[in-house]
Amino acid sequence: MRFELTREFISNLQELIDQYDSKTVSELVAPLHSADIAEILNELSSEEAKFLYMLLDGETRADVLIEMEDDARERFLKALSGEEIARQFITEMDSDDAADLIGELSEELQEEVLQHIKDVEQAGVIVDLLSYDEDTAGGLMAKELIKVNENWDIPTCLREMRKQAFDVDEVYYVYVVDDDNILRGTLSLKKLLLARRDARIKNLYKSDIISVRADTSKEEVANIMNKYDLVALPVVDSIGRLMGRITIDDVVDVIREEAERDYQLISGISEDVEPTDNVFMLTRARLPWLTIGLIGGILAALVLSGYEDELRIYPEMAFFIPLIAAMGGNVGVQSSAIIVQGLASNTLGIESTTRKLMKELSVALINGVILTSLAFVYNLARQETMALTLTVSTALLSVILFASVFGTFIPLLLNKFKVDPALATGPFITTMNDIISLFIYLLIGRLLYGIF
């Protein structure tokens, strides 16, 4: 049954913790999933969270700590010593999770935790993982996996697999390597079970395998696993030696983080922030794009001031300024959103930039003709002057075409120069299109009113 956290539950739990009622607290949280317990800990103070945490068994502690929100976990870990972190959590974690956790600590605390890990081999593995950039495959991978040598027979293979299985929570693939630890392929469990005892692994494994190098970006890892529907992906070094594996749960975290980051950029938030961050951090993240919006508004006002005489003589043009500006911003955001989505998911294909621009221009032309026709009919029905009718219709079509091309080209340009294309959506596109749309509208008005 799905657990739903309520304020009443938290209040009751806090009261029990204040009374040091360990038995009742344990009974309350025992049936819960580690993610549910982590959600509870996020709502407790450091001391309350520590009391509850110490009532959990070792494996559950490790799972819960990984599920906690970053700021809550950081606050919780500050209340513990390096020895407590090593003894209570690290020994129960997979190597990738342990490396992620230690990587969040200060350098001094990292050294203290590593010194208190009794298993020297485990400590060495964690140190190796910490040397990789967290945004690469090496930073995502875990060392725990099952591998067999291609020269083994079936009894040897089964015996070695049993030994390795103690360190692996989920067996997704059995990897086959040669004597130099070069990855050769994967072994099907079905083939292994049905094979003769004297069969050699080299005659059973599948050599068609997809792998990534340790320096591959995490975004590319996510795209590869999504494209080929993989639940685990092996990581190799520059000469093909097997180093570790990346599992689907790690990639889901990458996809979620990237989606959150892109959404914040699209919304005009320049830093990775959480709702629980302090006022200063939230203000600092929002202020840059708001400042750009302010500057854009001032530039738009300057454009209007340049056509002040026309607006004074033909005040009816002012009524359509919001329409023109809004349509330019909306079309630009739509075009840029499609391109950014395609770049993020690597689904744009091999079309050239020119073909992509022409495709968006064709869509904009169709939409522009339809919307322009509606605006034209509306103005005729209201018996507006022919000059205003043609000005609004011509400007609207021109703005839609320009905004579509602009919204397509800018993300592609940013991506070419290795800048996150998500920057091209939201406030940037809207502000630029507002300014240029007003300029186009007023310029066309000046020309057409001069004729009519």
Domain residue extents for the chain: 7-135, 146-247, 279-451
CATH architecture of 146-247: Roll (3.10)
From the number of C-beta atoms within 10 Å of its C-beta (0-12, 13-18, 19+), residue 270 rates as middle
Quick one: pLDDT at residue 128? 92
| pTM of the complete model | 0.73
Quick one: pLDDT at residue 342? 80
Quick one: pLDDT at residue 357? 82
Quick one: pLDDT at residue 244? 95
Fold entry, domain 279-451? Tetracycline Repressor; domain 2 (1.10.357)
Class of domain 7-135: mainly alpha
For each of the chain's 452 residues, which pLDDT tens digit applies?
Answer: 678 888 899 999 999 999 989 999 999 998 899 889 988 988 888 788 888 988 888 778 888 888 887 777 877 787 778 888 888 778 778 888 889 889 888 888 888 889 888 888 888 999 999 999 989 999 999 999 999 999 999 999 999 999 998 878 788 899 999 999 999 999 988 888 888 988 999 999 999 999 999 999 998 999 899 889 999 999 999 999 999 999 998 898 888 888 777 777 777 777 777 766 778 887 888 888 788 888 888 988 898 888 888 888 888 899 999 999 989 888 988 888 888 878 776 666 666 677 888 888 899 999 999 999 999 999 999 887 888 999 999 999 999 999 998 988 888 888 888 777 776 666 777 888 889 999 999 999 988 886 65
Quick one: pLDDT at residue 395? 95
Kindly state the greatest CA–CA separation across the chain.
Answer: 97
CB 375 within 8 A of CB 393: yes
Tokens of 283: 């203000």
